[in-house]
């Protein structure tokens, strides 16, 4: 027997749509926003729960937005605007909404005949370019394929399905842990998962539903107690951002209803805990009626719990007191560059203790300006115990061999991994200099113990702890500009009744630097950022401790919390 309708959920979805579908407003917006607004207006017109149900104003507004949308559609059928010129995938986002709106409008009767015709015209004009167009990111393949499938759904053409199948024949880029290759919460929730679910429906591909279920299962272990999803391991823009759980709501909800999974039902409840503010959700309930069914009984939260995603080299330990994440999966050590599409975030630990949040722990060292610690290897030593390791190597170069010297001095311009110069670096003998950093982390129910070993030549280092605003470090020495110096005295960061306590001790090496050492107590992003005047520095209440290596120190993090959620 099918589950009953969840009328409260449908009303909340209609209310969210009504809030963004003001039919009296004039909008000059990018093509994607115009198409999404038309879809929302048509959904509101169709839904008995909407204040715009059967509204002539909604129809008039939809036609106004469609004229604006058609005006930015070029002769190729692709849409103008945005950084990407004549972009098939960017246009696919718009066409996906246009096609969904067409399904809704075509089923609404003669009152929406003009809207249906305008949507068909826009979709038809784009079809040929989407059929032959290319992409430039992994998730674009699935967004474009979904647009082709939607076009076929409304305007059957076997060529469209064949092209979608051609893209899918490359294989969905999901790893053994259930993470897509971009490891991005933004693109998984907004692009890949919805695209694969649509393709599964149109093509009858249950394997694509399986991929989405695997990704949602992996994401369960990444949900943080503040209602966000962990992104430190992402290879896209969200690696430095906080990303909310709510975009995952329709996917967790749909698969919870269809599979009966209580853990997905719990995630769906968490995603809606702050209220339903997604204007697109109403259209999704009309297009996929199963979303309107009541959720199965959510599973109770099991604490403590652990998850180690070996492919991303990310571990999480969650107890009733603390939620701690350790990360060692940066792409920078292998590729030796900062680049869009690589995982570059140097944060290697963060901790939640209720309202007290340690957002980032980072370690920078002044070794040939090669940037902060980013582990090249993460080893699980035992349950909840990990070792992160990075060895940096640079070189001094000797004179060229006689047979490779040039009278004109015009040698090849080569990148040697640190900088570029017309010196034919690979042809020269070199004297290497190495520097190794090892961080051992023992995750506990009440926090974490760290042992940091810095070996190699004597260089300054600085450990940065960035706390989320809301409290103030007690026991540390203020340095100004929202930063403090931690010495051998304990530090307490308290927000309300929640707190994180930090103690540091030197095992070997010189004492920690005092507050007068401004040359040491600072974060250095490395030359890849500073050469262009940039930085990846954190914001918040920053606490530093530092010194000169070689050095071994321990750091004890202890949480006190009135109860964690998530």
Total structural domains in the chain? 2
* Res. 290: pLDDT tops 50: yes
What tokens does 434 get? 């190495």
* Dist. CA 319–CA 203, nearest whole Å: 42
328 and 202, same structural domain?
no
Residue with the two structure tokens 């992402």: 234
44 and 116, same structural domain?
yes
Average pLDDT of the residues of the chain:
94
346 and 283, same structural domain?
no
311 and 288, same structural domain?
no
* Dist. CA 179–CA 173, nearest whole Å: 8
Residue with the two structure tokens 């401790």: 545
Q: Spell out the SS3 assignment of 47-113.
A: CCCCCCCCCHHHHHHHHHHHHHHHHCECCCCCECCCCCCCCHHHHHHHHHHHHHHHHHHHCCCHHHH
Residue 565, pLDDT score: 47
Q: Residue 560 in contact with residue 353, Cβ under 8 Å? A: yes
Mean pLDDT of 15-37: 86
Mean pLDDT of 61-71: 95
199 and 51, same structural domain?
yes
Burial class (CB in 10 A: 0-12, 13-18, 19+), 559: buried
**Domain-terminating residue out of 292, 315, 333:** 292
What tokens does 71 get? 């005006």
Residue 110 maps to a domain: yes
Residue 230, pLDDT score: 98
Residue 496: count of CB within 10 angstroms of its CB: 12
Residue 1 maps to a domain: no
Residue 421 maps to a domain: no
What SS3 class is residue 514? coil
What tokens does 518 get? 């401004």
164 and 242, same structural domain?
yes
Residue 285 maps to a domain: yes
486 and 348, same structural domain?
yes
358 and 241, same structural domain?
no
* Res. 428: pLDDT tops 90: yes
319 and 208, same structural domain?
no
Mean pLDDT of 154-163: 97
Query: pLDDT-derived band of residue 563, with 50, 70 and 90 as boundaries?
Result: low
Residue 566 maps to a domain: no
- For residue 43, the cross-strand partners are none
Residue 83, pLDDT score: 67
Q: Model-level pTM greater than 0.75?
A: yes
Domain residues for the domain of 183 are 7-292
Q: Domain containing 109 — which CATH number?
A: 1.50.10.10
- b/e for 457-494, b at 16 or more Cβ within 10 A? eeebbbbbbbbbeebebebbbebeeebbbbbeeebbbb
More confident residue, 202 or 480: 202
Residue 476 maps to a domain: yes
Q: Interhelix angle for 138-154 vs 158-168, to 10°? A: 160
* Dist. CA 354–CA 361, nearest whole Å: 18
More confident residue, 14 or 566: 14
* Dist. CA 409–CA 391, nearest whole Å: 34
Mean pLDDT of 33-46: 96
Residue 346 CB contacts under 8 Å (≥ 6 apart), including other chains: 330, 362, 363, 364, 371, 372, 373, 374, 536
* Dist. CA 480–CA 474, nearest whole Å: 14
Residue 470, pLDDT score: 94
Q: What is the DSSP letter of 127?
A: H
- Phi/psi at 475 (5° precision): 100, -5
* Dist. CA 174–CA 178, nearest whole Å: 6
**Domain-terminating residue out of 238, 259, 292:** 292
Mean pLDDT of 8-29: 86
Query: For residue 291, which of 312, 268, 317, 311 has the smallest C-alpha distance?
Result: 268
Q: Domain containing 446 — which CATH number?
A: 2.70.98.70
Residue 564, pLDDT score: 52
Query: pLDDT-derived band of residue 502, with 50, 70 and 90 as boundaries?
Result: very high
Query: pLDDT-derived band of residue 27, with 50, 70 and 90 as boundaries?
Result: low
322 and 192, same structural domain?
no
* Res. 194: pLDDT tops 80: yes
Q: Of all residues in the chain, what percent carry a pLDDT higher than 90? A: 89
The CA dihedral of 84, 152, 198, 4, to the nearest 10 degrees, is 140
356 and 209, same structural domain?
no
* Dist. CA 54–CA 278, nearest whole Å: 21
Residue 174 CB contacts under 8 Å (≥ 6 apart), including other chains: 180, 181, 211, 214, 215
Residue 566, pLDDT score: 43
Query: For residue 283, which of 119, 91, 100, 63 has the smallest C-alpha distance?
Result: 100
Q: Residue 150 in contact with residue 95, Cβ under 8 Å? A: yes
* Res. 464: pLDDT tops 90: yes
196 and 154, same structural domain?
yes
Query: pLDDT-derived band of residue 540, with 50, 70 and 90 as boundaries?
Result: very high
State pLDDT tens for residues 102-147: 999 998 989 999 999 999 999 999 999 999 999 999 999 999 999 9
How many degrees, rounded to 5, is the angle at CA 144 between CA 140 and CA 150? 145
Q: Interhelix angle for 88-106 vs 31-46, to 10°? A: 20
State pLDDT tens for residues 479-501: 988 899 998 889 999 999 999 99
Residue 400 maps to a domain: no
Residue 551, pLDDT score: 95
Residue 415 maps to a domain: no
Mean pLDDT of 326-343: 93
What tokens does 210 get? 């399986």
**Domain-terminating residue out of 292, 317, 335:** 292
* Res. 438: pLDDT tops 80: yes
Residue 231, pLDDT score: 97
* Res. 286: pLDDT tops 90: yes
């Amino acid at each position: 027997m099918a589950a009953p309708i969840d009328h409260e959920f449908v009303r909340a979805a209609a209310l969210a749509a009504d809030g963004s579908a003001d039919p009296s407003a004039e909008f000059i917006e990018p093509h994607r926003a115009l198409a999404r607004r038309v879809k929302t207006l048509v959904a509101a017109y169709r839904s008995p729960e909407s204040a715009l149900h059967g509204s002539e104003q909604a129809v008039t507004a939809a036609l106004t937005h469609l004229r604006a949308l058609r005006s930015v559609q070029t002769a190729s059928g692709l849409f103008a605007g945005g950084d990407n010129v004549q972009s098939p995938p960017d246009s696919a986002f718009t066409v996906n909404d246009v096609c969904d709106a067409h399904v809704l409008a075509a089923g609404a009767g003669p009152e929406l005949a003009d809207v249906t015709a305008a949507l068909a015209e826009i979709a038809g004009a784009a079809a040929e370019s989407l059929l032959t167009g290319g992409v430039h990111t992994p998730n674009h393949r699935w967004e474009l394929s979904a647009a082709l499938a939607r076009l076929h759904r409304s305007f059957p053409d076997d060529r469209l399905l064949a092209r979608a199948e051609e893209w899918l024949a490359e294989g969905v880029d999901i790893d053994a842990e259930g993470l897509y290759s971009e490891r991005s919460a933004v693109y998984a929730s907004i692009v890949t998962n919805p695209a694969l679910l649509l393709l599964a429906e149109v093509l009858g591909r249950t394997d694509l539903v399986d991929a989405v279920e695997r990704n949602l299962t992996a994401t369960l272990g990444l949900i943080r107690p503040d209602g966000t999803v962990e992104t430190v391991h992402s290879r896209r823009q969200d690696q430095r951002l906080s990303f909310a759980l709510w975009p995952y709501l329709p996917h967790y909800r749909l698969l919870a209803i269809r599979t009966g999974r209580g853990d997905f039902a719990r995630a769906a409840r968490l995603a809606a805990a702050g209220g339903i503010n997604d204007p697109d959700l109403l259209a999704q309930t009309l297009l996929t009626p199963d979303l309107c069914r009541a959720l199965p009984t959510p599973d109770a939260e099991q604490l403590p719990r652990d998850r180690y995603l070996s492919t991303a080299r990310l571990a999480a330990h969650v107890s009733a007191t603390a939620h701690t994440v350790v990360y060692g999966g940066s792409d920078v050590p292998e590729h030796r560059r900062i680049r869009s599409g690589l995982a570059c975030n140097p944060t290697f630990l963060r901790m939640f203790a209720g309202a007290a949040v340690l957002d980032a722990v980072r370690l920078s060292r002044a070794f040939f300006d090669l940037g902060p610690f980013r582990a090249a290897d993460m080893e699980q030593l035992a349950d909840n115990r990990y070792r992160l390791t990075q060895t940096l190597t640079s070189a001094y170069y000797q004179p060229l061999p006689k047979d490779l010297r040039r009278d004109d001095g015009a040698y090849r311009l080569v990148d040697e991994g640190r900088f570029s110069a017309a010196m034919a670096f690979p042809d020269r003998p070199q004297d290497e200099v190495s520097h190794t950093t090892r961080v051992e982390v023992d995750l506990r129910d009440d926090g974490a113990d760290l042992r940091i070993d810095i070996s190699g030549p004597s260089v300054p280092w600085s450990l940065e702890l960035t706390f989320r605003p809301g409290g103030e470090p007690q026991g540390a020495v203020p340095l100004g500009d929202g930063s403090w110096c931690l010495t051998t005295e304990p530090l307490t960061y308290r927000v309300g009744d929640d707190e994180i306590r930090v103690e540091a001790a030197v095992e070997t090496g010189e004492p920690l630097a005092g507050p007068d050492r401004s040359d040491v107590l600072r974060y250095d992003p490395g030359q890849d950022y500073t050469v262009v005047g940039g930085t990846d520095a954190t914001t918040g209440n920053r606490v530093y401790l530092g010194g000169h290596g070689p050095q071994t120190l321990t750091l004890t993090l202890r949480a006190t919390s009135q109860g964690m959620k998530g």
